[in-house]
């Protein structure tokens, strides 16, 4: 099976025009089939302020009321997604922008209200890989923003890390999928204050020990749970680190595999 | 050859939630391959006001500076396009949203500055129909907003009527294309004050006479020039009228053919 790279970039790249441009130049040179997932960065919060829409966060997650959903749809699916698509086209990468509603590619359930009502937030139910596979087979690069839908006409704000892992899982029947999470650190660090203390390889056994020892905690826990979820569902490997991990053979980053 | 219906809707439908929903319900029932092009409606102007971005119009055309382009991209490609796609999905129509940058489907030139600088406005250079044809063949319905690109990374605000006609022309080598312009009148009217005075058929000869007699003037002239341009470029027929023309066999509208 051919290899498909599913690559997720976050706000640290999106909010920095030069970094984004440099990343997209390298990304466009990747020869194997590829798929990009982008987060939202600071633009949605900026626009909310300009429009006097209150930004509500609970446990680091955005509460998405109707106004916030409109803003997110405008910023993620509109401005950011289309600017990335146009830039990739200028770099000879034939990109095509997606939300989960497009081609019915990612179906979510609106998160049930327990103690907190997150509003229009979606938990991914399933991926329909047919349209994506059709495009990938024809040299097209899908570019996803972090929005899905419920098949009943409702758009839903959805975690970009989850979208990336679910896409890698959903396409694993057509491709040997590799998942790359680009973020601001060099990977999982032995010492959180030393960016050179990268743990280069983590398997399931090592992971359990790292959690037990408190090396992996806080923000990294949900990220790594996402990674191992993908590994358990036939994704071949997951890499976490700075974007250089994709292009620079000498860079250090964390690779996660089943064993 | 199979028939492809290219349908353009404007602000009068987009700004009216009930009218849009009713239209999309009927649209989703069309059995032949189909493609939707939507204008922007009043939302972009509303958002410009909310964000204190001045709206500049010259001869009924929006002057598109960087802030205005951002707003248009957010509103057209973000909010409106994705809401339409999600609604179509809920009606079992497998829609996929497009700007001209997506799949490199419509390439434009930035309009040269003569006496007026329209800013980031694009005049369509060519359509690349391959990706659209691939999707249409697989039962996907492309949904276009009125944005194109220049292949150099620049998004460009582009007239929605032109996008519809260029797509109908560009896909005429794969399909027998029919172009439908939905607007607020029943078609080309003999008497502009009588909505029942529809001229049901116009060919090239009749058109020249109608322009000579001053029956077709003002806003209808560019619209009809677009229609005849399409007809000259292998589009089989062009229809102008209320959206009912697509669904109600008893409705009256104007059909334009070469002869």
Q: What is the pLDDT of residues B99-153, one digit of tens each?
A: 999 999 999 999 999 888 999 999 999 999 999 999 999 999 999 999 999 999 9
Q: pTM to 2 decimals?
A: 0.96
| Total Cβ atoms within 10 A of residue A27 | 26
Give the pLDDT score at A61.
Answer: 73
Q: What is the pLDDT of residues B41-74, one digit of tens each?
A: 899 999 999 888 988 888 777 799 999 999 999 9
One domain for residues A130 and A20: yes
Q: How far is A256 from chain B (nearest CA, A)?
A: 33
Q: Name the β-bridge partners of A3.
A: A176
> E strand or H helix at B256, and its extent?
strand B254-256
Environment class of A134 (CB within 10 Å of its CB; exposed 0-12, middle 13-18, buried 19+): middle
The answer to whether position B51 is within a domain reads yes
**In this model, does residue B219 exceed pLDDT 80?**
no
For A138, list phi and psi in degrees, rounded to 5: -105, 20
Q: Hey, of A38, A48, A96, which one would you mutate to test binding to chain B, going by the most B CBs within 10 A of its CB?
A: A96
Nearest-5° angle of CA A15, CA A17, CA A18? 130
One domain for residues A88 and A109: yes
Enumerate chain B positions whose Cβ falls within 8 A of a Cβ in A: 50-51, 70, 73-79, 81-83, 85-87, 89-90, 94-99, 101-104, 130-131, 134-135, 138, 140, 147, 149, 151-155
The answer to whether position B32 is within a domain reads yes
| Whole-number Å distance between alpha carbons of A85 and A142 | 9
| Band of residue B254 on the pLDDT scale cut at 50, 70, 90 | very high
Out of A73, A85, A101, closest to residue B78 by CB = A73
One domain for residues A254 and A126: no
One domain for residues A30 and A77: yes
Find the residue in B nearest to A149 (Cα). Answer: B86
Find the residue in A nearest to B143 (Cα). Answer: A102
**Global ipTM:** 0.96
Environment class of B30 (CB within 10 Å of its CB; exposed 0-12, middle 13-18, buried 19+): middle
One domain for residues A127 and A26: yes
Q: How many residues are recorded in chain A?
A: 259
Domain with A256, as residue range(s), is 185-259
Nearest-5° angle of CA B128, CA B130, CA B132? 90
Contact call for A94 and B73, based on CB within 8 A = no
Q: Which residues of A touch B131 (CB under 8 A)?
A: 94, 96, 135, 138, 140
The answer to whether position B114 is within a domain reads yes
Environment class of B60 (CB within 10 Å of its CB; exposed 0-12, middle 13-18, buried 19+): exposed
The answer to whether position B188 is within a domain reads no
The answer to whether position B203 is within a domain reads no
One domain for residues A80 and A106: yes
Contact call for B152 and A90, based on CB within 8 A = yes
First to last CA, chain A: 21
Domain closes at, from A182, A208, A223:
A182
Give the pLDDT score at A57.
Answer: 84
One domain for residues A128 and A219: no
Q: How far is A50 from chain B (nearest CA, A)?
A: 6
Quote the number of domains for chain B: 1
| Whole-number Å distance between alpha carbons of B148 and B156 | 5
Domain closes at, from A133, A153, A182:
A182
**CB-based contact A189:A199 (threshold 8 Å):** yes
Taking each helix axis from N to C end, the angle separating A220-232 and A160-170, rounded to the nearest 10 degrees, works out to: 10
Q: Which residues of B touch A81 (CB under 8 A)?
A: 77-78
| Whole-number Å distance between alpha carbons of B250 and B252 | 7
What is the CATH number for B41? 3.40.1160.10
| Whole-number Å distance between alpha carbons of A112 and A125 | 13
Of A143-147, A211-215, A252-256, B34-38, where does mean pLDDT reach its minimum? A211-215
One domain for residues A20 and A83: yes
Q: What is the pLDDT of residues A37-54, one digit of tens each?
A: 999 889 999 999 988 898
Domain closes at, from A136, A158, A182:
A182
Contact call for B94 and A103, based on CB within 8 A = yes
Picking from B200, B76, B204, the residue whose alpha carbon sits closest to that of residue B148 is B76
One domain for residues A169 and A212: no
Q: How far is A31 from chain B (nearest CA, A)?
A: 17
Q: Going by C-beta distance under 8 Å and a sequence separation of 6 or more, which residues neighbour residue B100? A: B106, B107, B108, B122, B124, B144, B147, B148, B149, B156, B158, B163
Paired tokens of A192: 């959180």
One domain for residues A114 and A151: yes
Most confident of the ranges A127-141, A182-196, B181-195: A127-141
One domain for residues A112 and A210: no
One domain for residues A154 and A178: yes
The answer to whether position B71 is within a domain reads yes
* Mode of pairing for the β-strands spanning B106-110 and B122-127: antiparallel
Q: pLDDT higher for A222 or B140?
A: B140
| Total Cβ atoms within 10 A of residue B139 | 11
| Whole-number Å distance between alpha carbons of A224 and A198 | 15
The answer to whether position B84 is within a domain reads yes
Find the residue in B nearest to A80 (Cα). Answer: B74
Residues of A marked as catalytic:
8, 11, 41, 161, 223
Q: Which residues of A touch B149 (CB under 8 A)?
A: 86, 89
Out of A130, A138, A155, closest to residue B86 by CB = A155
Find the residue in A nearest to B103 (Cα). Answer: A96
Q: Which residues of A touch B104 (CB under 8 A)?
A: 89, 94
């Amino acid at each position: 099976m051919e290899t498909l790279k599913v690559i997720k970039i976050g706000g640290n790249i999106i909010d920095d025009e030069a970094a984004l441009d440099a990343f997209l130049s390298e990304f466009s040179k990747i020869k194997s089939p590829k798929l990009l997932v982008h987060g939202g960065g600071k633009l949605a919060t900026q626009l909310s302020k300009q429009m006097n829409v209150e930004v509500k966060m609970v446990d680091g997650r955005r509460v998405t009321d109707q106004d916030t959903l409109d803003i997110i749809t405008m910023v993620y699916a509109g401005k950011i997604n289309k600017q990335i698509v146009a830039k990739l086209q200028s770099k000879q990468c034939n990109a095509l922008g997606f939300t989960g509603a497009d081609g019915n590619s990612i179906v979510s359930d609106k998160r049930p209200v327990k103690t907190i009502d997150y509003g229009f937030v979606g938990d991914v139910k399933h991926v329909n890989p047919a349209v994506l596979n059709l495009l990938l087979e024809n040299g097209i690069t899908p570019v996803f923003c972090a929005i899905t839908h419920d098949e009943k006409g409702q758009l839903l704000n959805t975690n970009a890390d989850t979208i990336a892992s679910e896409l890698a899982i959903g396409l694993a029947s057509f491709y040997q999928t590799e998942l790359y999470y680009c973020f601001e650190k060099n990977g999982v660090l032995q010492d959180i204050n030393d960016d050179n203390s990268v743990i280069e390889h983590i398997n399931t056994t090592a992971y359990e020990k790292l959690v037990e020892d408190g090396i992996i905690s806080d923000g990294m826990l949900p990220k790594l749970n996402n990674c191992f979820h993908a590994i358990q569902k036939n994704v071949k490997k997951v890499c976490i680190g700075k974007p250089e991990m994709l292009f620079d053979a000498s860079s250090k980053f964390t690779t996660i595999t089943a064993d």
